[in-house]
Chain A
Amino acid sequence: MDVLAEARQASMRFGSFTAVDRTDLAIGPGEVVGLLGANGAGKTTLIRLLLGLLLPSGGGVRLFGQAPSAATRRRVGYVPQTLGLYTDLTVAENWSFTTAAFGIAGTALPEAIAGWRRDLVGALPLGAQRQVAFAVALSHRPDLLVLDEPTSGVGPLGAARLWEQIRLAADGGAGVLVTTHNMEEAQECDRLVVMADGRAVARGAMAEIIGDHTVTEVRCEGWSRAFALLDGKGYQVQLGGQRVLRVPGPAAAIRDVLAGEGLDASVEVVGANLEEAFVAIVTDGAGPAASGPVAP
């Protein structure tokens, strides 16, 4: 089977509100797919459809080749942002409870979290709590892992350890779906799907999402004046390091704004990063009220 979970032209309407609008999504074994979108873009609803927690108003959803059910639920591991652990139970008690619920009581506590066996989950640092949530979600060797911002708030080494576990599960054949608006996490995925207003508006590897999106890079000793000028004209100016501005918008117009005020600056078109491309993609799709650059 080459697809573990699949939404085909799936829609979800709540009254007159369409949360998910004819969206396709497929996750295969061994791949890590990132689902990106602004708040309210429909990510969470799409996941609830895939897991069978909601029935689609239109289109179809297949999990392991069948309609989502209690049987397919057993093959899914899910770590919500809130982690889904009992904070007033110990690590060992959380483990016993979950493994019993999945009918695999007696499974040994994994080595990675055994050191915290007697600690209350609520008393552990966030990085450790995330490791525990992970181990619990993986306890029944799921074929599909669904993770909501799996490394947010964790320090660099903690995040690296979590990604190692995610990749280990994928290398073992599990499909992984990561929902996030943390671009560092998005960059770790094999493939991305960008949602806006309930629809998938871009999909592909990171390089494909970035595509030919560019920003204008301005290097200038008087960066603060350049910033104020462009900001005043409605450009979504961002800092790009010391005395470097990154500005979505055409270089010629930006050069004119700066030259008009006698500012000596090097102005160059450079490739956008993932975050800049993402903002361009989702605000373009949001219509004229979007907060993109205003043509001066």
Chain B
Amino acid sequence: MTWGLRDVRVSFGPRVALDAVTVPVDPSRVTVVVGGDGAGKSTCLRALVGLVEPGAGTVRRPAKERTGYVPATAGLYTDLTVQENLDFSAGAYRLPAARRARREAEILERTGLAGVRDRLGGQLSGGMQRKLAVGLALLHEPQMLVLDEPTTGVDPVSRAELWRMISGAAAQGTAVAVATTYVNEAARAASVVLLEAGKVLASGSPDAILRGVPGAVGVQGGGARPGPLAWRRGADWRIWAPAGGLPAGVSRTEPDFADAVVVAALAGEGGR
């Protein structure tokens, strides 16, 4: 693990926000922290970039000026134009003139915002705002890029464009950590940390999480709930048998990543 959190505990007063959380963040890889609202994703990322001081555990991160961070609700100035946002960030990172011109041009091209460089940030569409925010965080070619829900509420076309930018940064060697509520975004990452109520439910590569589903998963047509360890997938039920023995009449199915995530959550709930 080059950067990341190891066994980190964060408390806010009596409330434990993160409990023994490990998040590896390595060069040329995308690590996705996935969970619902209140799971602790933002706290993870804030600890990673040094905005929250852990009560226990270790945090490894590059120098602040080699980190790019986009919080969930901001990341650009809405009352500055696209160009002014770029200039402001370049100034804040003290980029020398030549490098600044090169990077600004690259980011404008990358984000597809070259044609709207005089538009105010606040007048861009939601997807364009997110692309600009990610572009600003990449301007100084950080060693570690940390993005808090960059795609929440963004339509699938913009989401694909954002992920192309994010993956492109990893392809160039950047260590990337992304928080998301969308399970299908985790499925394509190199490394996933599934978080709920401040605890890690599962972590590893998506394949490893899938292989780690204990017991068996079965499928049964709609109707009454077939038991406590069941959830709907479309019109059908999925049933998890932790020890492997599925009830009579229930056919076994190969779980997909979405099933694996529910199983991990059910297992976590049982353990609490």
Residues of chain A having any CB pair with chain B under 8 Å: 37-39, 125-127, 152-160, 163-164, 167, 171, 181-184, 187-190, 223-225, 227-228, 231, 236-242, 246, 273, 275, 278-279, 282-283, 291
Are A158 and B232 in contact, CB atoms less than 8 angstroms apart? no
Residues of chain B having any CB pair with chain A under 8 Å: 28, 30, 35-39, 112, 125-127, 152-161, 163-164, 167-168, 170-173, 181-184, 187-190, 194, 196, 205-207, 222-223, 225, 231-235, 258, 261-262, 264-266, 269
Are B155 and A181 in contact, CB atoms less than 8 angstroms apart? yes
Are A126 and B37 in contact, CB atoms less than 8 angstroms apart? yes
Which of A154, A164, A231, A240 is the one whose CB lies under 8 Å from B164?
A231
* Chain A residues with CB under 8 A of B153: 152
State A227–B28 Cα separation when bound (angstroms): 12
Q: How far is the CB of A56 from chain B (nearest CB, A)?
A: 24
Q: How far is the CB of B231 from chain A (nearest CB, A)?
A: 4
State A152–B189 Cα separation when bound (angstroms): 20
State A100–B257 Cα separation when bound (angstroms): 43
Are A238 and B160 in contact, CB atoms less than 8 angstroms apart? yes
State A238–B231 Cα separation when bound (angstroms): 30
Q: How far is the CB of B60 from chain A (nearest CB, A)?
A: 22
Which of A167, A184, A190, A238 is the one whose CB lies under 8 Å from B163?
A238
* Chain A residues with CB under 8 A of B35: 155
Q: How far is the CB of A277 from chain B (nearest CB, A)?
A: 10
Which of A39, A127, A283 is the one whose CB lies under 8 Å from B36?
A127
Are A291 and B235 in contact, CB atoms less than 8 angstroms apart? no
Are B38 and A125 in contact, CB atoms less than 8 angstroms apart? yes
Known contacts A164-B232, A167-B232, A237-B167: does B173 contact A224 (CB below 8 Å)?
yes
* Chain A residues with CB under 8 A of B264: 156
Q: Which 8 A-B pairs have the closest CB atoms?
A: A155-B36, A126-B37, A227-B171, A160-B231, A224-B171, A38-B155, A156-B265, A157-B265
* Chain A residues with CB under 8 A of B161: 236, 291
Are B125 and A39 in contact, CB atoms less than 8 angstroms apart? yes
Known contacts A39-B127, A184-B258, A239-B163: does B157 contact A291 (CB below 8 Å)?
yes
Known contacts A125-B37, A157-B266, A228-B168: does B157 contact A184 (CB below 8 Å)?
no
Are B168 and A171 in contact, CB atoms less than 8 angstroms apart? no
Q: How far is the CB of B185 from chain A (nearest CB, A)?
A: 10
Are A238 and B170 in contact, CB atoms less than 8 angstroms apart? no
Most buried by B among A155, A158, A188: A155
Q: Can you list 23 A-B pairs, Cβ within 8 angstroms, ordered by A? A: A38-B156, A126-B36, A127-B36, A154-B36, A155-B37, A157-B196, A160-B232, A164-B231, A164-B232, A183-B184, A189-B234, A190-B235, A231-B164, A231-B168, A236-B161, A239-B170, A239-B188, A239-B189, A242-B207, A275-B159, A275-B184, A283-B157, A291-B157
Are A190 and B234 in contact, CB atoms less than 8 angstroms apart? yes
Q: How far is the CB of B127 from chain A (nearest CB, A)?
A: 7
Are B188 and A228 in contact, CB atoms less than 8 angstroms apart? no
